[in-house]
Amino acid sequence: MSELYSNSIFWFEVEKIHPNPYQPRKEFDPGRLSELADSIRQYGVLQPLVVTRHEIEREDGGLSVEYELISGERRLRASKLAGLMQIPVIIRIGEDNDREKLELAIIENLQREDLNSVEKARAFKQLAEEFGFKHGEIAKKVGKSREYVSNTIRLLMLPETILEALSSGQITDGHARPILMLIDRPEEQMTLFKEVLYKKLTVRDAEAIARRIAYDRVRKKERAFDPEIVELEERMSEKFGTRVQIERKDIGGRVMIDYFSNDDLRNILMLVESGEEGQAGSPHAMMHAYEHSLRENETPTQDESEHAVPEEETKPQEELEIDEESEIDTEAAEAGESETQNMQLSSEDEDDLYSIKNFSL
């Protein structure tokens, strides 16, 4: 029976063929399906579909036959759109049908370059986890290197939002790989993703940013760990809604703030300006509080403590200086008052000279 059906071409009703549950492709472009349907109306199905035959025992004791698609789902869908009643198929017989169906479906779609990177990654992962394929074996099946298979599967470590953008073509495989480098820094990863998405960064620019972030991360590990700086970075990043780095130096330091649009830059400026007005929780207030805590935590050195003069010993001299200054100020004030009075008197005398009472008719 197997030899009778194997590799022979038959014509079956379209409705009797069920889709492949192991089909790696999940999305079908309606426009391209319509174009394929037009071609099928004109030329027919040029390449037969590949199916497996299943005999299922019914409750009444009889047998029903079903056919499950291995490869050719686009042709099946387009044939339905074209209104065909029957299509040509090849029945494939195998000992491990599930494994063979997935393998053939992946290979066919890869050869046609119909799968996007996310679909490839999920198919490779399914081959490895459910069917026990090693990465090297998968690579031989699809004509790629083992590293290609491993790196493609690693794409599934990205967040679902980034995977959706990759599936829809908003970002490319080349963009996804530098974003994947920041898998242990989710906030910075999303920032880089948004920059790629909205600023239309090139792959080279994305790689340069990812390398810079990785380099900064290594430098942070090398220098002394300051938990308060880390806390400030996290709080300011949350406040600004973007990545913030604080680099402390021997004298002062610098704050680096990432942004990916002019609106972001304006919002950051507004937050900084609002912080100058003293609002609690503002970036300006955070840095001011941190500087204040640093000043409070500063302790005098040994030399300074040894040369420090007790407050009680200096108090009498301070009081003496204050008394002397107050006496000098009192004398100066009295002298000033007498001089002012003399000036007022002389002024009054001058006024009297021109008074009408000094003139007679």
Assess whether 287 and 203 both reside in one domain. no
pLDDT reported for residue 84: 92
pLDDT reported for residue 221: 53
Tokens encoding 265 = 């830059």
- The residue type at 326: S
The pLDDT tens digits for 30-85 are 888 898 899 999 888 988 888 888 777 778 878 878 888 888 888 899 999 999 99
**What do you get for the CA distance between the two ends of the chain, in Å?**
158
Assess whether 210 and 229 both reside in one domain. no
Counted domains in the chain:
3
Question: What mean pLDDT comes out for the span 300-322?
Answer: 47
pLDDT reported for residue 157: 93
Assess whether 12 and 75 both reside in one domain. yes
The pLDDT tens digits for 207-248 are 888 888 776 665 555 455 677 877 888 888 778 777 787 877
**Residues designated catalytic:** 73
Among candidates 266, 255, 118, 264, which has minimal Cα distance to 199?
Answer: 264
Q: What SS3 class is residue 91? A: strand
Query: How far, in Å, CA of 178 to CA of 137, rounded?
Result: 27
Among candidates 92, 90, 69, which has minimal Cα distance to 18?
Answer: 69
Confidence of residue 326 (pLDDT cuts 50, 70, 90): very low
Q: Is residue 344 part of a domain?
A: no
Q: Is the pLDDT of residue 156 over 90?
A: yes
Query: How far, in Å, CA of 279 to CA of 271, rounded?
Result: 10
Q: Is residue 322 part of a domain?
A: no
Provide the residue count of the chain.
361
Q: What SS3 class is residue 13? A: strand
Query: How far, in Å, CA of 93 to CA of 166, rounded?
Result: 36
Assess whether 252 and 211 both reside in one domain. no
pLDDT reported for residue 5: 58
Query: How far, in Å, CA of 314 to CA of 321, rounded?
Result: 11
Q: In the listed set 43, 77, 96, which residue is the last one of a domain according to the structure? A: 96
Assess whether 230 and 211 both reside in one domain. no
pLDDT reported for residue 265: 81
Q: In the listed set 262, 281, 297, which residue is the last one of a domain according to the structure? A: 297
Q: Is the pLDDT of residue 162 over 60?
A: yes
Question: What mean pLDDT comes out for the span 286-305?
Answer: 54
Q: In the listed set 219, 235, 267, which residue is the last one of a domain according to the structure? A: 219
pLDDT reported for residue 356: 43
Q: Are 117 and 173 in contact (CB under 8 A)?
A: yes
Alpha helix positions (H), 155-246:
160-167, 173-180, 186-199, 203-222, 227-240
The whole domain housing 201 covers 161-219
pLDDT reported for residue 132: 83
- Across the chain, the runs of DSSP E, i.e. the strands, are 9-13, 17-18, 49-57, 63-71, 86-91, 244-248, 253-257
pLDDT reported for residue 163: 94
